[in-house]
Chains A and B, each alone.
Chain A
């Protein structure tokens, strides 16, 4: 965490050692994360990992047991919560609206909560938000008649009402059909392009990888990884080698292990791994993996060739976000 003023002003949301305990259970454990201006920040974690509780604490729905939350560079307190939250739009879990009101009436109600006067500008804004999420034709219908996807769209419209600087979206594509998911993804990218910071919590890791610039992965209430998606994934990059015979693979393992202890200390994480589904399977069924960036491939082949060991196939392997996520959050995978 930097103390630089420039960097601090670029931090839209910062949580420091944020903790929430419900009785004996710790839902969020000393969680520290930073969302920077312009980020599309993905908050990832398995069910019950504390994602929604974290978002609820940011929004003042759940009181933290410990730690600190800062929005737009200011520590959130009772005195400034109102002013700071006015700059935030949010959908938390399933959208919650008054079932007996129409979509338009619900947005009008939200606009009053948000401190918008009942003016022509607000009415126009509501109409435009409804138009944007494709609900203009159903605006006069009761909310209880909406499908889950329509409810989700109304939630997005409500989050956009106040032209927020930061939007928190908790599973925003939940219940949407594939076309709706693409639209929401597009909307998130559009918001980001216009300078709005988006904090997105989602289980759909493929989707997160497509739209998020930075992510925090939380497990059992704690951040287990945080950073730019590209950097996190490239940090997990490895080289996998296939050999024509199992005996050669064993010989290669010996050569590389020795090298890692002397001439090539950068060579780490040597292990046998199974080929990916659909990929070439060498005799014996196992590939040799080394945690090394792609630019080290010539060095590895040179080390092996110097000992008379020749690689049948050498590939760069980068984990998908999903694989990385599972590696961090699933005990068996992590082990």
Chain B
């Protein structure tokens, strides 16, 4: 170090030999990335939207509940094939119970899980795409890399921060789900049920599987942002993949499978089994199978080993691809 203090700056900034370890420094980067994500106005807006739409869904459920409740128990005079009033009342009661159960603890987590897999994944793709791509847009790699950080550390910090963000979004929404399940559900006549130890285990694994689902798509956002050197590329790439996958898996391949016949149709019908979404989703389905069955109504189950391997493969491919690009690339922004 230069002898004396530079230009009258008195506080000693670096103590000799006290440089943080590589791991400590990477953890600091994770925290910096989380701080950067938190300080963006966009993150606050997205967070607010995430909560707002969740509350809106709760509002619609309440509206549906009261609409059903207000429906008449007798048929109009000229109606044909109308069930008798007592049967109609029983049917209405069944509907009311189904609606209130959907927002009652612990079954409210089914709605929450589905919501997280839809809205949460959009939000994390935007946040992670902006986080990684923003470094290119603002030229802020010039702040980190010349301080001696390796590209692996910089990318590692972003990836770990993305994992924490995926977990925070999931846990946050599940806390909202808990609140909903313990307030709105009972208010609508739902019957709160306690969780056994197995139920808690299922909830934790289900929650983690959804966080992994979000993280998987977040890694695509990292890859696309690195590939396109911009936030727009990261966001558009990951969300584009989501929608493309939705269309291909739910529309194109089912139609093809119907149009074709025999072995070809069967093979075509199984092509989506190799896509990221069905595999990420299958993990969630498996995680929430029993005893509470949080994931009922989820995607048809692929084999767990297949889903786990494919998920690991996709995440690894995104990470290796991103690192290979970042590692070999000159920072000229």
Beta-carbon contact of A96 and B143 below 8 Å: yes
A121 contacts B146, CB within 8 Å?
Answer: no
Decide: B13 and A162 in contact? CB cutoff 8 A: yes
Say how far A190's CB is from chain B's closest CB, in angstroms.
5
Once the chains bind, are A84 and B3 in contact (CB under 8 Å)? no
CA distance A196 to B139 in the complex (A): 27
- The chain B residue with its CB closest to the CB of A129 is B9
Residue among B3, B145, B146, B149 with the highest chain A CB neighbour number at 10 A: B146
Contacts A56-B330, A62-B330, A86-B14; A163 near B148 (Cβ below 8 A): no
Given contacts A61-B141, A85-B146, contact A115 B19 (CB under 8 A): yes
CB-based nearest A residue for B330: A62
CB distance from B229 to the nearest CB of A (A): 14
The interface bits of chain B over 1-34 (1 if a CB of A lies within 8 angstroms of the residue's CB, else 0) are 1111111111111100001101001001101100
Q: Is the C-beta of A302 less than 8 angstroms from some C-beta in chain B?
A: no
| Chain B: CB-nearest residue to A87 | B1
Indicate which residue in B6, B14, B330, B333 contacts A194 across the interface (CB closer than 8 Å): B6
Type the 1/0 row for A85-104, where 1 means its CB is closer than 8 Å to any CB of B.
11110101110111111000
For residues 122 through 158 of chain A, which have their beta carbon under 8 Å from a beta carbon of chain B? Answer: 122, 124-125, 128-129, 132, 158
Q: How many residue-residue contacts, CB under 8 A, span A and B?
A: 150
Cβ-defined partner of B7 (8 Å) among A78, A83, A93, A194: A194
Contact call B149/A187, Cβ cutoff below 8 A: no
**A82→B10 contact, CB < 8 A:** no
| CB-nearest residue of chain B to A57 | B330
Tell me, yes or no, whether A164 is within 8 Å of chain B by CB: yes
CA of A164 to CA of B9 in the docked complex: distance in angstroms? 12
CB pair B143–A128 under 8 Å, yes or no, is no
Asked if B35 lies at the interface with its beta carbon under 8 angstroms from chain A, I say yes
A318 at the interface (CB under 8 A from B): no
Inter-subunit contact A122/B11 (CB<8 Å): yes
Q: How far is the CB of B107 from chain A (nearest CB, A)?
A: 40
Q: A115-B19, A163-B12, A195-B3 are in contact. List 19 more A-B contacts (CB 8 A).
A: A22-B330, A59-B146, A61-B331, A81-B150, A85-B146, A86-B147, A109-B32, A111-B13, A112-B29, A114-B13, A122-B13, A124-B11, A125-B12, A128-B11, A162-B13, A165-B1, A191-B6, A191-B7, A194-B3
B residues sitting closer than 8 Å to A (CB atoms) are 1-14, 19-20, 22, 25, 28-29, 31-32, 35-36, 39-41, 138-150, 328, 330-333
8 A–B contacts, CB within 8 A, in A order:
A56-B330, A56-B332, A78-B150, A84-B148, A92-B146, A98-B39, A109-B143, A113-B149
